[in-house]
Structure formats: C-alpha cells, structure tokens
Amino acid sequence: MNTVKTVLELRAAVARARGEGKRIAFVPTMGNLHEGHVALVEKAGQRADFVVASIFVNPLQFGPKEDLASYPRTLAADQDKLVAAGCQLLFAPDVEEMYPHGMSGQTLVRVSGVSEGLCGGSRPGHFDGVATVVTKLFNMVQPDLAVFGEKDFQQLAVVRTLVHDLNMPIQIMGEPTVRAADGLALSSRNGYLDEAQRASAPALYRTLQQLAAAIRDGRRDFAQLEAEGKAALEQAGFRPDYLEIREAGSLRPASATDSRLVILGAAYLGSTRLIDNLAFEL
C-alpha cells in the first residue's frame, strides 16, 4: 500500500490506476480504525479493482467544545489494518493540505433537509463540515464508488443527497453496522468508555430493538414510544441527547402510514457520546 500526503501525489496515483482500466473505490475515514472500517475497505475491494482510503480528522466538523484535540490518531496501526484489508492507496493529508487558505473563508457545502435535527440539531455546523470535506475528497479522488457505514445513518443520507443534488457520478454504498458480540456498535469513541460504562453501553441498541418490536406489534404512538425509550436509557445510566423515530428514506418524522422506519438515538455515558440506529420495514 502506498501512503501519500498531498493532493498532487493522490491524483497521480489514482490516474495511474485509472489508466490501467481499474475501477476506483473510496473509503473516507478519520482513522483509529476498527473492524467496522475494515469491513468497509473489504467491501470496496469486492466492488472495485483499486481501493483508496483516506484518514483525516476534519476540524471543520467538530464544534468548539468537542473532542478534536483528543480524538485518537493511530496512523501506524491504521496502515497495518488497511494493508490487511486490501487497500492499495492511503491519502493522509494534514490540515494545511486540505485547507490551504484556512477554514474561516472556506467555501461550505450545506445539505438542507436531511441534515436538520438529530445530530444536525445537537451539533450545529457538523454536517456542513462533513458535506464540505466529503465534497473536497470526492473531487480529489474522483472515485467510481464510495463506501460508508450505516452506523452514521444521517451522515449517509447527507452524502447520498449531496451526490444526487450536485450530479456527482459516484455510486454511494451503505454497509451494515458492525457490532460487538453484546450488540454495541463499533466506534472509535468506544475507547473513551471506562469498564463500567462499556458494560452499560449495549443498552442503547437494546432500547432501539425494544422500540422496533413494539412498532412491529402494532404500536404507532411514536411520541410516547420515544419518551419510553429515553426513560429506559436514563435508567441504564445514559444521558439521552435524542431518540427519534423517522421515515427511513427522507428522515422526516414518522407517520402511522410509513412502512420504512428508522429509530435513531444518541446518548452520553459520562462524557462519551454514542450514536446508533435501527432501520426496518413493516
């Protein structure tokens, strides 16, 4: 695997692969890779001939009180995981390479609708930062397809929308959330949890499962179900951020006639914010 740090090197390497007739897949990450990221890279390798991954902790998507400074940077270990997963090219730029003129005057990409509420409501400006860096990376790599995890369900909706609205010729693939044996969605932020918090963390997914079961059994009092879910999380030691039942395609609040639903939750254990979701059809 070749590791490059500049856009010039990245484009040259991708151009060589494309000149050989190879189909290009892209997996953007912020590093500190786990089995979920590895699964994305492996899936990309099944769908393309040349896999590009990126590692960039994007300051533009972090709020002023969020964990940018403490976010884990584990480049050497990440490189080993990417090689084992079949990645051919890693783009690992620094902030100056991504934002050579600084971030204060950076052109922003804003995706309306699906970016509003949920994480977009709790983290103002977050999805502007996500959409902007993804657009820049897509323009730098120009892949045929890109693979994202479904754990970040709203982020995936934002990416699908911007690709559609900006007429980008890129196939976006969503891959199911990879979970630990006890159901906890794998996340780089799980490493922040202490032993007791880690033991409590699977209650987030269990709560989503319980709500989904109630809906499958015929309940449609969504507001009451959301309230019950938040109470269950509080009882398990969480501080809920949000817990909402949405229509899975548009992410608008669910109605009784919808057949494709997603339950999305975010909650704190101590200072660690965990997110998860459960999509299902009736």
- Residues with catalytic roles: 37
Q: Are 205 and 179 in contact (CB under 8 A)?
A: yes
Name beta bridge partners: 246. 253, 262
Rg value, the chain, Cα: 19
Q: And the tokens for 155?
A: 């982020």
Calpha distance 40→81 (Å, rounded): 12
**Quick count: other Cβ atoms within 10 Å of Cβ 226?**
20
SS (H, E, C) 61-98: HCCCCCCCCCCCCCHHHHHHHHHHHCCCEEECCCHHHH
**Quick count: other Cβ atoms within 10 Å of Cβ 145?**
17
Beta pairing class for 24-29 and 145-149: parallel
Residue 62, C-beta contacts closer than 8 angstroms, at least 6 positions apart: 68, 71, 126, 129
